Copies of this chain bind each other. A is one copy, B any other.
Amino acid sequence: MNIKIDVKNLDFFYGDFKALNNINIEIEENKVTAFIGPSGCGKSTFIRTMNRMNDLIDGTKHVGEIIYEGKNIYSSEVDVVELRTKVGMVFQKPNPFPKSIYENIVFGPKRNGIKKKAELDRIVETSLKDAALWEEVKDRLDSSAWSLSGGQQQRLCIARALAMKPDVLLMDEPTSALDPVATSKIEELIGELKDKYTIVIVTHSMQQAGRISDNTAFFLMGKLIEYGETSKIFSNPEDKRTEDYITGRFG
């Protein structure tokens, strides 16, 4: 069982506000790891540190290490651009570019030097199919991505991330804007992807976490309360707070 990402004593600050407090966690390779916890507990903040997206926010700082491929991703040896091509991400709010659907998907591959039209076409088709969007948009690949419905936009963003063939895929509530059918497709997809990729997913849905994840981490107010195999966490949590949260009737 390989450790893909190893987080050690991580603190994270927005200005003076400490959003993450001494996080220690080991993300396993070719597994799906789910982050759960109430709103505002720091799930998004944490998942965003893993590909250093938080670098883009002014006034943030971190303490501690995140080891990926044997190196601290915050060290000077690691190239942040390279990191992000390997550690892909899907956001909570869909954020397609104001370009055509096609251009959205090929944005990443083109940056990586793929120029051939045929190959790009193929990438567009497979990515969209993987993201369960192909049927709906195949006839209007040239129309603006902004004219899609909320759920369609989110699936487009997933397709966009998949087009990069990342090593690790971070997903911040990727299905919160999706209907059951699309959700089911994405979940199936995640199941397939985990053979090749390592997946970290933030979700509000206990059911979803239970269905698709191998490991689950429960966060509360910036702290990692409990982390372990999903079956264990769901059936027999060690911490009272985890139990309270999980046995909430809702989801």
Interface residues of A (CB under 8 A from B): 14, 36-41, 44, 92-94, 136, 147-152, 155, 173, 176-184, 187, 204-207, 245, 248-251
* Nearest residue, chain B, Cβ from A248: B180
| Contact call B40/A149, Cβ cutoff below 8 A | yes
Measured between beta carbons, the chain B residues less than 8 angstroms from A93 are 93-94, 150, 177
In contact, B184 and A204 (Cβ under 8 angstroms): no
CA A176 – CA B205 in complex, angstroms?
Answer: 10
A54 to chain B, nearest CB (A): 13
**Could you write out 10 A-B pairs with CB less than 8 Å apart?**
A38-B180, A38-B181, A38-B182, A40-B151, A40-B152, A44-B150, A176-B177, A179-B204, A181-B245, A184-B250
Q: How far is the CA of A245 from the CA of B152 in the complex (A)?
A: 18
Copies in the complex: 2
Inter-chain CA distance A211–B10, complex, in Å, is 39
Q: Are B250 and A151 in contact (CB under 8 A)?
A: no
By a CB distance below 8 angstroms, the chain B residues around A183 are 204, 250-251
Contacts of A251 in B (CB 8 A): 180, 183, 205, 207
What 4 pairs across the A-B complex have the smallest Cβ distances?
A39-B151, A180-B250, A39-B179, A184-B250
A245 touches B44 (CB 8 A): no
Report the Cα distance A179→B43, complex, angstroms.
11
With a cutoff of 8 Å between Cβ atoms, the chain B residues found around residue A36 in the complex are: 179
In chain B, what residue has the closest Cβ to A154? B39
> How many angstroms between the C-alpha atoms of A173 and B176 in the bound complex?
9
Nearest CB on B from A226, distance (A): 16
In the assembled complex, how far is the CB of residue A50 from the closest CB belonging to chain B, in whole angstroms? 17
Give the docked Cα–Cα distance between A155 and B181 (Å).
26
Q: Are A206 and B180 touching (Cβ within 8 A)?
A: yes
**Cα(A173)–Cα(B94), bound, Å:** 14
Complex: A180 Cα to B244 Cα, angstroms: 11
- Tell me which residues across on chain B come within 8 A of A178, comparing CB atoms: 39, 204
